[in-house]
Amino acid sequence: MLMMQKRRRTTLCPFFFFLGMGVAVAQSVSFDFPSFTFNNTNITLLGDSYLRNGVVGLTTPIENLPTSSIGAFFYNNPISLNTTSSFSTTFTFSINNNNNNNPTSSGDGLAFFLSPDNLSLSLPLPHPLGLPSTFLAVEFDTRLDPPFHDPNDNHVGLNIDTLHSLKTEDPMLQNIDLKSGNPITAWIHYSINHNLLSVFLSYSSSKPPQPLLSVRVDLSQHLTRPLYIGFSASTNESTEFHHIFSWSFSSTLQDFLHPHNVSDNSITVTFPDNNVKHDKKVGIGVVVVGPVFFFAAFVFSILGYVFLVRKWKGVGNEEEFEGEIVACPRAFDYKELKSATREFHPSRIVGHGSFGTVYKALFISSGTIAAVKRSRHSHEGKMEFLAELFIIAGLRHKNLVQLQGWCVEKGELLLVYDFMPNGSLDRVLYKEPEKGKLLSWSHRVNIVLGLASVLVYLHQECEQRVIHRDIKTGNVLLDGNLNPRLGDFGLAKLMDHDKSPVSTLTAGTMGYLAPEYIQYGKATDKTDVFSYGVVMLEVACGRKPIEREGSKMVNLIDWVWGLHSEGRIIEAADKRLNGEFEEEEMRKLLLLGLSCANPDSAERPSMRRVLQILNKEAASLVVPKVKPSLTFSSDLPLTIDEIVSDAEEFNTSQSMCEIKIH
């Protein structure tokens, strides 16, 4: 199996590398991910995608959730194929609807894409499959969409800027069911000399002799710009899961049908990794190689080694965890928690966190109820456990979910919280009227006030600023009186008040991510403000951040801003309220939500200003009639100082050079 390989290699050759000029022209690229970890800083996750046990999931892992899920991930650095390059990629994936109640339901499937757009500027994603607006894609489609002339709900197709495929084939011709849930390996080859794109599929790791899909097509005009490559998927209100187990890619100036004359003028720089116990090698083929380059390579290797030793030194056993854990209310006994959750019985599951499952725990001796979060047995689960424990243990606020204690025994990582009887905000907000009481306007106002109050506390009143990074209605819990409590700090980051943000792996949920965070991976208090603005609009409108209307995906921010531009913003109010709200108060909430969700982070208010406006202690902000649009541009670092800075931040993606507001 590809998953068992021990090496990941990224090679760029030949590569013009001028440190003084900051100019780079990549002419051939290759990389190989036998599996994925959070150490893979040259990939970016978007939307609902996530990493777990070495596998990338593209759509939400929560079962039986009646909502659409969209996710994508891509290789950070755009590749330059130009009109003389061929390319080849191999990946192993699986698609599984996992819906026992409706086994015939299906999502949209997944797609491998090449696009000049890295998806950050195209939210909401306008197409099914989560594709950007401009793309070359091979779709593995599991839904019959008559508007796109799909032949059936199990087909592979080539698509260019539209979901009307140039050509499709049914994998059942080779006895392959895309929705079987079994791992499927795909090989995609494009020959520039023959203008031929071929797709092979197999349940095994051996490539079949004949392709499933062959298309004669000249792609040269689509390869003239640097392209981002990756995968995307969507569910279309089903529980279809999409997983990528491994991925390799290579391009060459030579045709893959004639693979001789391969250049070997490359340099390999090794980065030791003390956690996963295998080598990581990054090869850079250099045409202009001088003393400056060797110095830069030396700096990268030293910084990479120091970072990895410090970052991943030892969190593998109970003793190491106990040495790290800070003071908490109490340490629970494992037997006590096991008994209280009926041995973690599925009937006690009340929710899912970033990397864990939440159980209702009933303590018979005291008659009390708590929520127990059980972290998954993975490296990411351990990291989230520590992050959540370290951060939330020292926080106290009436609108935070209170931590009662923790337990590290029998290989388990458990956190114990106050139990919230009304569950998460999204479940209450979108509950059908016949299944429960509608959330009243007064309760909604109280919720946005409470959430604003706790964010002021996290951003400005703690010793270190806390950036939550995953503010959404699913992480806002409601107590017995429907008061909001912010939870799930597994993705949260601490930041000194006087320090600039550092780059990190983009994480969060589609529809709540600020555009600059998606583009550059720098989480700040203003990225939290953006997410809060989306939640505020959800509460006022009773609509989800991204919803499907026919064949289109509609973004809540765009929809409300469109009504505002027409002077009809009050029409965005939740129709289920039947007008039972203060019109001016509703207008203020909608406009404040747009202010917080402004694409330009500099124009967003601080959470303190938001709270003052809600409390009528400050004047409302002026919201432009037309939603501002952003243009990002990027380049390689221009100086050795910038290169060293990027290495210290352990982020190999492009650095921010310019943001323009139109």
Q: What's the per-residue H, E or C state across 23-73?
A: EEEECCEEEEECCCCCCCCCEEEEECCEEECCEEECCCCCCCCCCCCEEEE
Among residues of the chain, what percentage have pLDDT more than 70? 69
Co-location of 454 and 414 in the same domain: no
Residue 378's CATH number: 3.30.200.20
Show Cβ contacts of residue 180 under 8 Å, excluding neighbours closer than 6 positions: 94, 95, 96
Q: Kindly state the average pLDDT of the residues 145-164.
A: 87
**Model-wide pTM > 0.75:** no
pLDDT of res. 455: 95
The answer to whether residue 658 is domain-embedded is no
User: Which is higher by pLDDT, 261 or 244?
Assistant: 244
Asked if 346 and 228 sit in the same domain, the reply is no
3-state SS of 183-238 is CEEEEEEEECCCCEEEEEEECCCCCCCCCCEEEECCCHHHCCCCEEEEEEEECCCC
Alpha-carbon distance 264 to 82, whole Å?
Answer: 21
Mean pLDDT for all residues in the chain: 75
Residue 62 has pLDDT above 70, yes or no: no
**CATH code, domain carrying 447:** 1.10.510.10
- The one catalytic residue among 150, 273, 426, 470: 470
Q: How far is CA 18 from CA 14, 289, 450, 636, in A?
A: 13, 9, 52, 10
Q: Assess contact for 7 and 32: CB atoms under 8 A.
A: yes
The dihedrals phi and psi of 291, each to the nearest 5 degrees, come to -55, -35
Contacts of 489 (CB under 8 A, 6+ apart): 387, 388, 391, 392, 466, 468
Nearest to 232 by CA among 79, 135, 112: 112
What pLDDT score does 6 carry?
31
Residue 1 inside a domain? The answer is no
Question: Of 497 and 69, which is predicted with more confidence?
Answer: 69
User: Does residue 309 lie in a domain region?
Assistant: no
Domain that holds residue 607: 441-628
Q: Name the more confident of 642 and 170.
A: 170
Amino acid at 640: I
HEC assignment per residue over 567-579 = CCHHHHCCHHHCC
627 is in an annotated binding site: no
Highest mean pLDDT range out of 192-201, 215-224, 390-399, 490-499?
192-201
Q: What is the dihedral of CA 565, 130, 64, 62, to 10 degrees?
A: -100
The one-character DSSP state at 510 is T
Final residue before a domain boundary, out of 226, 258, 290: 258
Q: Same structural domain for residues 413 and 460?
A: no
CA 294 from centroid of its chain's CA atoms: 35
- Both 349 and 495 in one domain: the answer is no
Smallest CA-to-CA distance from 171 within 109, 113, 225 is with 109
* β-sheet bridge partners, residue 356: 375
Closest CA to 91 of 32, 51, 40: 32
Instruction: Give the residue-averaged pLDDT of 405-417.
Output: 88
- The residue from 258, 286, 309 where one domain ends is 258
More confident position, 629 or 26: 629
How many domains in the chain?
Answer: 3
509-567 per-position pLDDT tens digit: 778 988 888 777 788 899 999 999 999 999 999 999 988 877 778 899 999 999 999 99
- Domain at 151, CATH number: 2.60.120.200
Q: What is the DSSP string of 625-661?
A: SS---EEEEEE--SSHHHHHHHHHTT--SPEEEEEEE
The more confidently predicted of residues 493 and 277 is 493
Same domain, residue pair 448 and 353: no
Mean pLDDT, range 411-436, rounded to an integer: 84
Summarised one tens digit per residue, pLDDT across range 213-259 is: 999 998 888 887 889 999 999 887 667 889 999 999 988 754 444 33
566 or 43: which leads in pLDDT: 566
pLDDT of amino acid 535: 97
pLDDT at residue 199 is higher than 50: yes
So what's the pLDDT on residue 543?
A: 94
pLDDT over 50 at 427, yes or no: yes
- What are the pLDDT digits (tens) for 214-223? 999 988 888 8
Q: What pLDDT does 106 receive?
A: 66
Label each residue of 582-596 as H, E or C.
Answer: CHHHHHHHHHHHHHH
Residue 470 falls in the annotated catalytic set: yes
176 alpha-carbon distance from chain centroid: 29
CB under 8 Å to 529, separation ≥6 — which residues?
Answer: 455, 596, 604, 605, 606, 607, 610
Per-residue pLDDT, 578: 92
Indicate whether 453 and 571 sit together in one domain: yes
* DSSP β-ladder status, 50-52 and 43-47: unpaired
More confident residue, 109 or 640: 109
Inter-axis angle of helices 583-596 and 556-565, nearest 10: 120
Clarify whether residues 456 and 582 are in a common domain.
yes
Say whether pLDDT at 305 is over 60.
no
The answer on 513 and 548 residing in a single domain is yes
Same domain, 454 and 410: no
Predicted local distance difference test score (pLDDT) of residue 660: 33
Q: How do residues 325-366 score in pLDDT, each as one tens digit?
A: 444 468 899 999 999 999 999 889 888 765 678 999 999 888
In a domain, 295, yes or no: no
pLDDT above 80 (res 639) = no
| Per-residue pLDDT at 434 | 53
Rounded average pLDDT over 647-658: 31
The answer, yes or no, to whether residue 123 has pLDDT greater than 80, is: no
Give yes or no: residues 377 and 481 share one domain.
Answer: no
Amino acid identity, position 367: G
How far is 482 from 485, CA to CA, in rounded Å? 9
pLDDT of residue 118: 67
Report the pLDDT averaged over residues 366-379.
82
**Of the residues 258, 288, 303, which one is the last residue of a structural domain?**
258
* Pure H helices in 475-524: 515-520
pLDDT, tens digit, 9 for 90 and up, residues 465-504: 899 888 999 999 999 899 999 988 877 777 655 555 544 5
Residues 452 and 405 in one domain: no
Question: Is 288 a member of any domain?
Answer: no
pLDDT at 120: 54
Q: Would residue 430 count as lying in a domain?
A: no
Does any domain span residue 9? no
Residue 300 lies in a domain: no
Cβ neighbours of 644 (radius 10 Å): 15
More confident residue, 124 or 231: 231
Mean pLDDT of all residues in 163-167: 89
- Model confidence at 371, in pLDDT bands (50, 70, 90)? very high
φ/ψ (deg, to 5) at 379 = -60, -40
396-400: average pLDDT: 91
Tell me which DSSP letter residue 340 carries.
H
Q: Do 364 and 471 have their domain in common?
A: no
